[in-house]
Amino acid sequence: MLRFHRRRLAACSVALAAALAISACGSKTGESDSTGGVTADTSGDTVKVGLLNSLSGTMAISEVTVRDAIMLAVEEINAAGGVLGKKLAPVGEDGASDWPTFAEKAEKLIKVDRVAAVFGCWTSASRKAVKPVFEENKALLFYPVQYEGLEQSPYIFYTGATTNQQIVPGLDYLKAQGKKSVYLVGSDYVFPRTANKIIKAYAEANGLKVLGEDYAPLGSTEFGTIVNKVKASKAEAVFNTLNGDSNVAFFKEYKSAGLTAASMPVVSVSIAEEEVKSIGTQYLAGQLTAWNYYQTTTGAANDKFVKAYKAKFGADKPTSDPMEAAYVSVYLWKAMVEKAGSFDVEKVKGASNGVTFEAPEGLVTIDGATQHIHKTARIGKIGDDGLITEVWNSGGPVKPDPYLKGYPGASGLS
Amino acid sequence: MNPLTNLSPRVRAWLGFGLGAVVLFAAAPALLTDFRLSLLAKYLCFAIVAVGIGLAWGRGGLLTLGQGVFFGLGGYAMAMHLKLADAGEGNMPDFMELYGQLDELPAWWAPFANPVFALAATVLLPMLVAFGLGSLVFRRRVRGAYFAILSQALAAAMVILLIGQQGTTGGTNGLTDIEGFFGYDLDDPVNQRMVYFIIAGVLLALLALTRQLMHSRYGELLVAVRDSEERVRFLGYNPANVKLVAYVVAAGMAGLAGALFVPAVGIISPALIGIVPSIEFVIGVAVGGRAALLGPVLGAVAVAWAKTALSERFPGTWTYLQGAMFVLVVAFLPGGLASLWGLLKRRREATPPAPEVGERVLVKEVAA
Amino acid sequence: MTVILGQLFTGVSIGAVLLLIALGLALTFGQMNVINMAHGEFIMAGAYTTYVLQQTITDAGLSLLVALPVAFAVAGAMGVLLEWALIRRLYTRPLDTLLVTWGVSLMLQQLARDIFGAPNVQTKAPDILTESTSLGADLSIANSRLFILGLVLLAVAALTAALKFTPLGRRIRAVVQNRDLAAVSGIPTARVDRLTFFIGSGLAGVAGVALTLLGPIGPTMGTNIIIDAFLVVVVGGIGQLKGSVIVAFVLGMLQAMVEYLTTLSVAKVIVFIAIVAFLQWRPQGLFTLRTRSLA
């Protein structure tokens, strides 16, 4: 008797669910989609903007400084009168180094806070997680970190370098230095794996030998074996796409194994001034980096940026490329809004092509077709004082080419 | 005093399920915005995992710290099917074309194009893995802390394995950007609501099933194994098999939850599988009350909701509050929030009217 | 050939790091059966202690030497505080300890972030520990790894001697073998527990100092290594030190060899499979403490 009732209970609830589900069917895939997305709330004296960075978890080591840079830009803009006469009200959310959390918080910023634009994300995985959210709701994301390319979302503006503005110049530099062979070391995720595919394609086209390729899980700090392999390969240079904590362990091991910048230089694409500070110059002095901006980059705009940043966050805090790209992204959005004369996402997007900003890294221009920006590539050498000084640059801003269409050796990558 | 306590357990169960159905199917959709309702759908997925953990841990004493693995297996099985369906017949999922060096779909992906296979796999695959591991481990009497550490290591190994195979699993990114659910467009809020109803229905059905299981002879045996494994062995039962059933059922529930999570949130990634999410699943159960039927559900929803609410309110300091909540509840309220009700009741009963107490004891005895 | 020899040493040094991290756990988890998830944060505390000391003692070598005992005391004190405030209430519920200490570890990480900032911090190693000792031809051994190997051997020897020959050691062993009997014999078990916890946590602090030579110093440094350390103790067997010692070096060697032939990811997975297989053969670990108790 008892048993019978419970079965019926279970059956009832399933039936109820099924009935409700069937009665509530919406549109099928492929049908025209009329959901228009959410419009930002611009009715008051202030306009909300979203800041989406990891403040806790493993990625906080990098993302907190990016958020500081965004806050600096927001405050400067407010002090100068805001955007279209409205002050910006920043709404911060913690992505917690967890990709689904990024998606949840992005949706919250768009739907609940109704922000006009969101600035943030660092890892490719977090960007991939929020991309559908921004596309579905037709909202804007400004992504400030160098990445692996092969992406062009209509609702994301990429203010960091794509591969032809960082990886390819790094290789050009090695080639110009007469290096004939490289060893590839990277963290096990999408950026290093894609970057290394590009490097291998480049190497084949340019007579460079790739002597080995190794990946360490993100967060891994055991590099004994990898460094042994690198040393045994007798490569002329190392191309390093490790991320975060792993870099610290890698360089400590590298130095301990007796490898030096003179004998086997390492070109890194994820080590900026902040990371140099946490690894230590005793391990890094003389090694190379590929970026678009250094704290030492010359120019009035950079002097002002560095001074303002240090005044706000402390004299010992360095500025770095991702921070600069994040800072620039807020100003670029402001310029786009002012050109469009509206906060409306479609109008802002429409106004984007050719918008320029005198950035700390030099003049940057938005390429409307790809929604990336023209940036100058710079190779730097890490000095004993922890600062990075430029040893080579591309001479002027490089046009973004996220799918490397202009590089015949790289065809078939995407 | 409290009319509910005078009712028979059967009627109370009916009332409970009725109330649950009203809250989940009528009140929540009416009161919450689409965004909050989709968050609730996510929490309910965690609640489904929690029901299984409640059975395996609360009743069986198995601290399953690797439920993320089963959640992930179910989630990936579902996401693989949906990605293949999005890509259309004969095409490869977008990320494979982007990052893989593959010319054609890997063989182990192919069967997931079939919806029946994929749906079955979401539940059976986790159960199979749990069966394999469980029968090895329980038979050799690995238990307690050993079992906990081992299941954590399993979660860690699974994450490394998934990340290492970027070309075929999406690596760290996981499988993202899932557009359709068996032909229905997931961008449409009406369909999102449908997904929510399915999840709520599944949760209620699994609760009914678990209640059935807990009150059966098997349920008694499971508690006996938890409390004294050796004595059960002396009675002629094989405790390994008893534990195995609970472990496999819990794995199946986690798999189903993972499968439902995918259409609700639109992503499955290694970040949902590793050690941290696996511990978070268990924490929800501990906070709610591990041995009660509803404790794990309420705990899982409460912990997930608190995480969202606290991190929205205090983006910089919410981890302190979250950590403090875990510490205080687990250390000082071992029965979880579910035991608060009992504690309050006892306190009320401890004060006056004495005569009624005797009466209630009598009623309870009869009911039992 | 030189590569193989280099790998052999890498295996030994991975083992030494594993052992250093696991040594404290062999006491708190192995002897007391407490799963302390905040152990990784005690390691972090040791590393940050080195960093703080370097702000005042600028000589890298001296500050490292001073940091070893100071970190032991700092992490040990944190351990005692944790034991006194929470863990002693949970001895009968070992699995709840895991959840509670995990909550504590979350809070400690956030605390580190608030005190020292979210980015990693830097310590300076004495120059000699950033170089390597050449063993002819292409073979060289990193001095930092030699230092860690020496440190861990010293720690194991000291701990073994302390457990064997001192009155405190005898009491600890008595409590591990039979808590009730020890209590009736007049051993203050609560105080012994606290002391054991002090030493175990203190060893985590020492490990933290040593790790500054190899890896990053940041809020999440503890979480990445803690599971490996638990595995060492589980496979080594509870209640004994020698099991952990052997297992740490065997696992280190296995990982170095497999990684050399394949990749780090594959090596980690293979090590895990080996562990499950091993526990099939010896479910209580390599060495077990024989007791008469059931269950």
The total number of structural domains that make up chain C: 1
| pLDDT given at position B346 | 74
CATH of the domain at C145: 1.10.3470
Of A351-360, B23-32, B175-184, the range with the highest mean pLDDT is: A351-360
Distance from CA of A211 to the nearest CA of C (A): 15
Contact A216, A246 (CB under 8 A): yes
pLDDT band at C294 (very low <50, low <70, confident <90, very high): very low
pLDDT at B17 over 90: no
pLDDT of A407: 80
pLDDT at A16 exceeding the cut of 90: no
CB B46 within 8 A of CB B281: yes
Over 70: is that where the pLDDT of A409 sits? no
C-alpha span between A48 and A33 (Å, rounded): 27
In a domain, C288, yes or no: no
Query: For residue A278, which residues of chain C lie inside 8 Å, CB to CB?
Result: 119-122, 216-218
For residues C246-272, average pLDDT: 90
- Return the higher-pLDDT residue of B296 and A31: B296
CB A274 within 8 A of CB C119: yes
User: In this structure, how many other beta carbons lie within 10 angstroms of the beta carbon of residue C115?
Assistant: 10
CA angle A236, A240, A243 (to 5 degrees): 165
How many CB atoms are closer than 10 A to CB B69? 28
CA dihedral B244, B246, B247, B252 (to 10 degrees): 120
Q: What is the distance between the alpha carbons of residues A361 and A332, in angstroms, rounded to a whole number? A: 13
What's the angle, vertex CA C120, arms to CA C116 and CA C123, rounded to 5? 90
Residue range C78-88, pLDDT digits in tens: 999 999 999 98
Judge whether B235 is closer than 8 Å to chain C, CB to CB: no
Quote the domain boundaries for residue C72. Answer: 2-281
Separation in Å, CA of A83 to nearest CA in chain C: 31
pLDDT for the residue numbered B367: 35
To 10 degrees, what angle do helices C143-165 and C167-177 make? 80
pLDDT range class, residue B184, cuts 50, 70, 90: confident
| Partner-chain contact B334 C109, CB within 8 Å | no
Distance CA A376, CA A368 (A): 18
Percent of chain A whose predicted confidence (pLDDT) is above 90: 75
Provide the 10 A C-beta neighbour count for residue A195: 23
Q: What is the pLDDT of residues C19-74, one digit of tens each?
A: 999 999 988 887 788 889 999 999 999 999 999 999 999 899 999 999 999 999 99
Task: Note the pLDDT tens digit of each residue in B49-100.
Answer: 999 999 999 999 898 889 999 999 999 999 999 999 998 887 888 888 776 6
Element of type H or E holding A47 = strand A46-53
Collect all residues with Cβ–Cβ distance below 8 Å to B53 and sequence separation of at least 6: B64, B67, B250, B281, B282, B285, B290, B296
Kindly state the average pLDDT of the residues A82-97: 94
Tokens of A159: 């203010």
* Mean of pLDDT values over B275-292: 90
Query: How distant, in Å, are the alpha carbons of A25, A102, B25 from that of B30?
Result: 17, 27, 9
In the predicted structure, residue C136 carries a pLDDT above the cut 80 = no
At the fourth CATH level, the homologous superfamily of domain A46-162+303-374 is Response regulator (3.40.50.2300)
Please name the amino acid found at residue A153.
Answer: S
pLDDT at A15 exceeding the cut of 80: no
Inform me whether the C-beta atom of residue A136 falls under 8 Å from chain B C-beta atoms. Answer: yes
Ordered alpha helix ranges (H), B1-33: 9-22, 28-31
Mean confidence (pLDDT) of chain C: 89
Judged by CB atoms closer than 8 Å, whether chains meet at A248 and C7 is answered as no
Chain B residues whose CB is inside 8 A of the A402 CB are none
pTM: 0.90
Q: Is residue C289 part of a domain?
A: no
- Contact across the interface for A248 and C138, Cβ inside 8 Å: no
B315 touches chain C (CB under 8 A): no
List pLDDT tens digits, range B205-247: 999 999 999 999 999 999 999 998 889 999 999 999 999 999 9
pLDDT band, very low/low/confident/very high, at B10 (cuts 50, 70, 90): confident
Do C122 and A280 lie within an 8 Å CB cutoff?
yes
Q: Where are the domains of chain A?
A: 46-162+303-374, 164-292+378-410
Residue in A285, A287, A272, A265 with CA at minimum distance from that of residue A182: A265
Contact status, residue A267 vs residue A391, Cβ threshold 8 Å? no
A122-171 pLDDT per residue, tens: 999 999 999 999 999 999 999 999 999 989 999 999 999 999 999 999 99
Domain-located, residue C39:
yes
> Which A residues 12-41 touch B at CB under 8 Å?
13-14, 16-18, 20-21, 24-31, 33, 35
Comparing A27 with B152, the larger pLDDT belongs to B152
Chains that touch A (3 or more CB pairs under 8 A): B, C
Residue A100 contacts B where some CB pair is shorter than 8 Å? yes
Residue in chain B nearest C277 by alpha carbon: B136
Question: If you measure CA to CA, which chain A residue comes closest to B173?
Answer: A125
Would the CB atoms of C268 and B140 count as touching at under 8 Å? no
DSSP code for A399: P
Neighbour-count burial for C211-249, b at 16+ CB within 10 Å, e otherwise: bbbbbbbbbbbbbbbbbbbbbbbbbbbbbbbebbbbbbb
- The domain ranges of chain B are 33-280
Question: How far off is chain A from B326, nearest CA to CA, in Å?
Answer: 17
Nearest CA-CA distance, residue A122 and chain C, Å: 14
Cβ of B319 within 8 Å of Cβ of C283? The answer is no
Q: Does B363 contact chain C (CB < 8 Å)?
A: no
Q: Is C265 within 8 Å of B171 (Cβ atoms)? A: no
Give the distance, in angstroms, between the CA of residue A64 and the centroid of all CA atoms in the same chain: 13
The residue length of chain B stands at: 368
- Closest by Cα among A333, A336, A346 to A137: A346
CA-based angle A188:A191:A197, to the nearest 5?
Answer: 90
Run of H or E including C104: helix C94-116
Query: Cα separation of B10 and A5, whole Å?
Result: 8
> Could you say which of C96, C100, C107 has the minimum Cβ distance to residue B319?
C107
What is the nearest CA distance from B100 to chain C, expressed in angstroms? 18
As for the ipTM of the complex, it is: 0.90
Question: Which residue in C33, C99, C275 is closest to B330 by CB distance?
Answer: C99
Task: Note the pLDDT of residue A72.
Answer: 97
What whole-number distance in Å separates Cα of residue B18 and Cα of residue A16? 11
Which among A7, A100, A128 has CB closest to B272? Answer: A100
pLDDT at A59 exceeding the cut of 50: yes
Closest CA to B129 of B70, B56, B76, B50: B70
The domain A164-292+378-410 is placed in CATH, from the list 3.40.50.10890, 3.40.50.2300, 3.40.50.20, 3.40.718.10, at 3.40.50.2300
pLDDT at A185: 96
Cα separation, C244 vs C204, in Å, equals: 15
Query: Which of B25, B32, B44, B172 is best to mutate for the A interface (most A CBs within 10 A)?
Result: B172
Cβ-based neighbour number of residue B59 at 10 Å: 23
Burial class (CB in 10 A: 0-12, 13-18, 19+), C283: middle
pLDDT reported for residue B144: 74
